A and B are shown apart, each in its own frame.
Chain A
Amino acid sequence: MPEQSIMASSRRRLLATLASLPLALAVDARAQTTPDPQAILAAADKIRVPQTPFRMQVTLTDYFANKQQGQVTLSVLSKIDAATREFKTLVKYMAPARDLGKVVLFNGTSLWFFDPSSKATVRISPQQRLIGQAANGDIVTTNLSVDYQAAMSGTETIKGADKADRDCWHLELKPASTAAIYGRIELWVERSTSRPIKGKFYAQSGKLLKIAYYNKYQSALGADRPTEVILIDALDAKAATIMSSTAYATQSLPDTWFQRDYLSQVR
């Protein structure tokens, strides 16, 4: 090949390389600015629930066709197990009178229910219902980043419960432990604040079970947290349950409290 041709060829290769450089740099930049989906999920967990031992009051209100059907008030005590990073949770019924004193325990490996009238402590499954659309697995505090593996589906602008547009990361969650009660979760997390905005929860079969909206963010125990979660039945949109969280407080919670034999002593 004549020398000019070689040089021309080299110049063309150099130009092609230089031309592609901004694209390569742009690709690298994008890879560096897209955060790790697991880190996004962990950040959303820290917004959703306090990471230090705490107490709060949760009111579950059941609605059908916008009419209130029933209401249960719970006292929730929760702390993270340092070894597993799973939450251990005690839930005590405070109202109505017929349910007063009932206790649910989730200690990371199992779910127990104590009935003060029969003094029975029985093991129950996460799928058993408390009230309305809230199954036991919804009431107990969980770190989704421990139970699920997150993958990035992209970014999306969606409307929150307050109808405002939210620029969100769209995460796809698959079970990563036996503690995961859903077969799949889609979660939308606001990009600027790491706040969870919306969730879709699927059964192992792939069927959509419920849709959750995280709403009414208020300051509690060091962060703005969703004090209202709206759960809508995916099979019947008229059926919904609202979980309202209030009275957050830090509380010392001994590990000895989180076992089946202690449930009759929970105050």
Chain B
Amino acid sequence: MGPSFLLELANAVNAERHGFPNAVRPRDWQPRISLGLEHHLDIASDARITFSDRISATRPQGDAAGFDEVFQNDLREAYLTFQSSGDQVIQAGRVNVRNGVALGFSPTDYFRTGSALVQTSADPASVRAGRLGAVLFSYQRFWKGGALSVIAAPKLDDRPSFGARSSGLDPRFDFTNATNRFLVTYSPALGPLAPQASLLVRGEKLELGLSLSLPLGTAVVTYAEWSGGKRPNLVAQAMTDATAFGALGAEAQNKFLNDAVIGASWSHASAKLTINAEYQFHQGGLGRRAWRHYFDLAEVGTPSALDIVSRIGAVANFEQDPLSRRQMFAMITRQDAGINDLTLSALGTVNLYDGSVGGQISANYARSPQWNAGLYLSFTEGARKSQYGGLPVPVSAAVSIVRYF
């Protein structure tokens, strides 16, 4: 089969929340045109090359409009697969590896760091779709009783500095391969629970992980995921100058931290409805006291204070971790919602400390196999001193038109 292409035209319009004169907010409108390519080439009966790339043109942030300011190439995957027999697979190159069973936040999805690309939809599946892979070597062994996977991902560059932006043809190995990582995953066939156990060595630190899932009847699937290890929390990762961080700096920790998710999905066949709900716990995120110090710092309003506030958000975004220690995520999707081929979705994340909500409502119309049109309305709601209410953009709208070839 030949390569597949997609062409996406997207534009986002952002409103402004008043009372944030110093806040850094996205530009009021952000057009983007992207061309994606994916190809699997069988070079032998037991070998295949996979290539996935996307090049986008966006409105420059500043006045400069050179190639690097306008274009960004995302080399998502480029790897060789060698399958010597039906039960052993070797892969080498840039590979998007995705572990875990949860939808919104997946603690055992260890290669999510630095992988996020600009996407129109906030649907977690879309966020992970076409993300940057990590350069790695992978060996998988399958047998009737389960599967074992061993992955080695070397450090290729130092982690990018805060605020660094990529552009042009930069492959961003500093984003995806800034640390040596070694991951072993074991998935035994143990009946309906389908466990998956993980052992990650990241630099010199060890993490353990476990995921389970269990269907209940024909309509419900439940799941749980956990990861734990000694690592710096969000504040510790973001902190450069303890003095500047003030009281928030005292929240920095480097100890055994846990991440956990418990969730379920429910489907109704004749209504073509699926509802997902998750409780997400990220011990390295901001707890109640840390949030208080965070907003105290934001209230200071000086450039250095706002820089710290931005840095914490940037670290969470880079790590693909929740900002808050506790939150709830929910998503509802209805196919053929009143009109055939129209899918309506609504998703939201609630900060359980301040009750603020960030979410997105979307409508996707797939009238033909080649075309898809999407309308997305993102919103943030909450008190001024809350995670989502404190963001400078209360509402943004985006439209996306995709053509598949």
Indicate if the CB atoms of B370 and A97 lie closer than 8 Å: yes
Report B-chain residues with C-beta under 8 Å of the C-beta of A129. 267, 269, 272, 335
Chain B 170-190 interface 0/1 with A at a Cβ cutoff of 8 Å (1 = within):
000000000000000101010
Additional A-B contacts beyond A97-B404, A261-B187, A265-B81 (10; CB < 8 A) = A71-B369, A98-B369, A100-B1, A118-B98, A118-B129, A120-B128, A126-B219, A127-B269, A203-B270, A262-B147
A32 CB within 8 Å of chain B: no
- What total of chain B residues lie within 8 Å of the partner, measured CB to CB? 58
- Is B67 engaged at the interface, CB distance under 8 Å to the other chain? no
Cβ contacts under 8 Å, A98 to chain B:
6, 366, 369, 372, 402, 404
> Is A256 a contact partner of B143 (Cβ separation < 8 A)?
yes
Which residues of A have CB within 8 Å of B219? 125-127
Interface residue tally for chain A (C-beta within 8 Å): 46
Does B103 sit at the interface, judged by CB under 8 A?
A: yes
Contact partner of B129 among A64, A70, A109, A115, CB < 8 A?
Answer: A115
Residues of B within 8 A of A (CB): 1, 4, 6, 81, 83, 86-87, 89, 96-98, 101, 103, 125-126, 128-131, 140, 142-144, 146-147, 149, 185, 187, 189, 191-192, 194, 213, 215, 217-221, 223, 265-270, 272, 274, 335, 340-341, 366, 369-370, 372, 402, 404-405
Give the distance in Å from the alpha carbon of A235 to the alpha carbon of B272 in the complex. 13
Q: Are A70 and B369 in contact (CB under 8 A)?
A: yes
Is A127 within 8 A of B268, CB to CB? yes
Shortest Cβ gap from B213 to chain A (Å) = 4
CB distance A119 to B187 under 8 Å? no
Residues of chain A whose beta carbon lies under 8 Å from any beta carbon of chain B: 62, 64, 69-71, 95-98, 100, 109-111, 115, 117-129, 135, 137, 180-181, 203-204, 207, 209, 233, 235, 254-257, 259-262, 265
Kindly list chain A residues whose C-beta atoms are within 8 Å of the C-beta of B213.
110, 123
Collect the chain B residues with CB atoms within 8 Å of residue A209's CB: 269-270
Per CB-CB distance, the 5 closest pairs between chain A and chain B, nearest first, are A96-B369, A119-B98, A261-B147, A117-B129, A118-B128
Min CB distance A146 to B, Å, is: 16
CB within 8 A of A260: which of B81, B97, B187, B270? B187
- Interchain CA distance A121-B98 in the complex, whole Å: 8
| Min CB gap A61→B, angstroms | 12
Q: How far is the CB of A199 from chain B (nearest CB, A)?
A: 16
